[in-house]
Structures are given as C-alpha cells and as structure tokens.
Structure 1
Amino acid sequence: MVTNPQRRTALVDAAIDVLARDGARGLTFRAVDVEAGVPKGTASNYFANRDDLLNQAAARIHVRAAIDVAEGTESDPAALLTQFMRLLLHRISDDRSGWLALLELRLEATRRPQLRQKLTTTLRDNLDANIQGRGEGGLPGDDLTTVLLYYAMTGLILEHLTLPDVLRDTDLDRLVADFVHRSLPRD
C-alpha cells in the first residue's frame, strides 16, 4: 500500500462525501478518485479493498467531529457541558456529509459483519471516551448522564440533518441546554 498520509486522508474524506451523496452502493474506488480529483486507480493503491475504505471512513468521521477540551471557555461545569454539546451539534451540522456518511455506514453494517464489528468498536470507544472525559474533566453528572446526552444528541442530530423542517421552529441551542439541565441528577 502507498503511504502518503495527506493523500490517504484526502481519499477517505472523498469517500465520506461519496457515501453521504450516493450511499454505500455508490462508493467505488472510481467514485472516490473522481471526488478527490486524482488519477484513476489512485484509491485502489491506498486501500486493500472496499471494506478497508469503509472502515477507514468510519474512523475518520469521528476525528472530523471531535471536540477538543481546550475549546471550552465556560467556568461553571454545567455551562461547560452545555457548551460542549452545542459545539458538537454545530461541528456536526457544519460537516453534514460526515454525519450522513455515518448513517450510511450504520445501514451498511447491518449487511456486513466485519464493518458492523469495526463500527461497533469505534462507536463504543467513542461513548467510553465521552464517559471517561466527563469524569476526568470534572463535568457534572454521572455515567448515565453521559449516555443519556449521547443518545439525545444522536437523535437530535439525526432529525436536524435528515428532516430539518421537523425542528424548524425549535431553538436547537436552547434544546441542547434543556437536554443537559434535565439529564443532570438532582441533588
């Protein structure tokens, strides 16, 4: 396999765009080459097979959406947690193709056991990292709070990116703040 990290990343990003636009069935090496604007055959030099490309796309989506703790500016722990949830919503909204590609990968994983295993591991690791990060970061709540927020945000993002008119009269930042407030255990 060819090892030019920047080109590999560009190809994986192109694969994410193809997944979001054309679905898993439209993801071919040729489609990735065209999307990335590289010569025909380039993607096949970087990925062992289509499954390898799918797995790398799944991992890359989470890198693109990651929030760095240094982005938090609030001093109050509950306000900081709310800020992180809002940052996540906006980061994913700004990278709509990444989230739509993840939905395509989830659907494809129902038909491909190897992808299902890889995606399950990636998403489980992401949830575990969120649980650990909340605890280490001194954010309020407990592990259940993190799980509740994780799935509330997942549902909100799904609705917002696929059928945005359902929530057209909803202040999403306010809704996120309500998620946080209502999920925190009462003293």
Structure 2
Amino acid sequence: MRSNPARRNTLVDAAIEVLARDGARGLTYRAVDEAAAVPIGTATNYFTNRDDLLGQASLRVHDRLGPDPAHLDKPPSKESLTELIQFLRRRLAEDRTGYLALLELRLEATRRPELQKSLTRRVRANLLDNLDLHEATGLPGDRTTALMLYLAIGGLMVEHLTLPGVLCPDGEGIDELIATIVERVLGRPGG
C-alpha cells in the first residue's frame, strides 16, 4: 500500500464526494479515481478493499464535520448555545456533501457489520465528547438536555439537508427554528 498522506486524503475526500453523489453502491475504485482526477487504478494502491475505503471515509468525514473550538469561548447562556448550534448548522450546510456522505455511511453500516462497529464507536465517542463538552463549558441544561438537543438538531439537519423545502420552503427560518428548539428543550424559567 502506498503511503503518500496527501494523495490518500485526496482519494478519501473523493470517496466522500462519490458517496454523497452516487450513494454507497456507486462507490468504486474507478469512481474515486475519476472524482480525484488521478489515473485509473490509483485508489487500488491505497486501499486494500472497499471496506477499507468505506472505513477511511467514515473517519475523514467526521474530521471534516467536527466542531470548531473557537466557537466555545463565549460565556455559557441560552443565547450562546443557540448561536453555537446555528453555527454548526451552517457548517454542516457548507459541507453538505460531507453530511450526505455520513448519512450514506450510516445506511451502508446496516449492511456491513465491521463498518457498523467502527462507525458506532466513532459516533458514540463524538456524542460522549459533546455531552462532556456541554457540561464542562457550563452551557445551560444537563446531559439529558444536551442529548435531547443532539437528537432534535440531528433530525432537523436530516430534513434541512436532504429535503430543504420540508421545514422552510423558502430556505429561510432555520435559525429561528433552532432558537425555538433550544428554548423548548431548555424550558422557560418557572415554566
């Protein structure tokens, strides 16, 4: 196997593009080579098999979509939590391809036990890190509140990035919807 890290990243990013565009069934070495604009046969030099390629894509997509610590420097409040979630929504929308590839990987994991095992481990670790971060930064609510926000925003993102006209047909109002979700999940003082 070749070990040029830059070329490997280019191929894995191309695999993410193919997953988002064509789904897991369209992920072939040839499709990755074409998307990466490299000679046909290059991907076979970097990945032992399709499972290896899927596994590398699942790791890389999480790196691409991960949170930016710079957005955690505000004093903890309902407003800063809302702004953080709105920022994450914009980040996912900007890398819509990465998010759609992640959804494809999740679907493919239902058919591939090894991918399911590694993806479950990565997503669970990310979730636990997010719950710990929520507590450590003093954001409002407890771990259960953070979990409820994770689930609600996850559902919102699936709708928004796969069928954008369902929730806000004009494309506007998503940030307001996030603010409402945060308000309702946190609850009103004394309410």
Q: TM-score range by the shorter chain?
A: over 0.9
The aligned counterpart of 1:151 is 151
Gap runs ≥5 in structure 1: none
Asked whether 1:172 is paired with 2:174, we answer yes
Whether 1:122 and 2:126 are equivalent positions in the alignment is no
Give per-residue Cα distances to partners, 1:64-102, cap 9 Å, x unaligned: 111212134643522221111111111111111111111
Q: How does 1:102-113 map to 2 (within 5 A)?
A: 102-113=102-113
Which letter maps to 2:88?
A: L
Q: Which amino acid aligns with 1:132?
A: D
TM-score with structure 2 setting the length: 0.92
C-alpha distance in 1, partners of 2:13/2:76? 36
- Separation of aligned partners in 2, 1:118 and 1:9: 19
Aligned partners of 2:76 and 2:138 also within 8 Å: no
CA contact (8 A) 1:67 1:84 kept: no
Q: Which amino acid aligns with 2:174?
A: L
The root-mean-square deviation of aligned C-alpha atoms, in Å, is 1.5
Q: Is the 8 A contact 1:73 1:80 kept in 2?
A: no
Alpha carbons of structure 1 residues 152 and 145: separation in structure 2 relative to 1, 3 Å: same
Runs of 4+ that moved beyond 6 A: none
CA contact 2:20–2:101 (8 Å) conserved in 1: yes
Kindly provide the amino acid, as one letter, of the partner of residue 29 in structure 2: F
In 2, the alpha carbon distance for the partners of 1:102 and 1:67 equals 15
Asked whether 1:182 is paired with 2:189, we answer no
**Structure 2: tracts of 5 or more residues without a match:** none
Q: Partner amino acid for 2:78?
A: A
Shift of 1:151: 1.0
Count of aligned pairs between the two proteins = 187
Moved more, 126-135 or 161-170: 161-170
What is the rounded CA distance, in whole Å, between the counterparts of 1:128 and 1:73 in structure 2? 20
Shift of 1:18: 0.2
Structure 1 length normalisation: TM-score? 0.94
Structure 1 residues 31, 73: CA separation in 2 closer, same or farther (over 3 Å shift)? same
Residues 21-70 of structure 1: CA deviation (Å, up to 9, x unaligned): 11101101111011001111211111121111111111111111112121
Aligned residue runs from structure 1 range 1-187, under 5 A: 1-72=1-72, 74-167=74-167, 168-169=169-170, 171-184=173-186
SS of equivalent residue, structure 2 residue 165: helix
SS across alignment from 1:165: coil
AA matched with 1:13: D
State the one-letter code of the partner of 1:27: L
Instruction: Give the distance between the partners of 1:79 and 1:6, measured in 2 at CA.
Output: 40
Q: Which structure has more helix as a fraction of its residues? A: 1
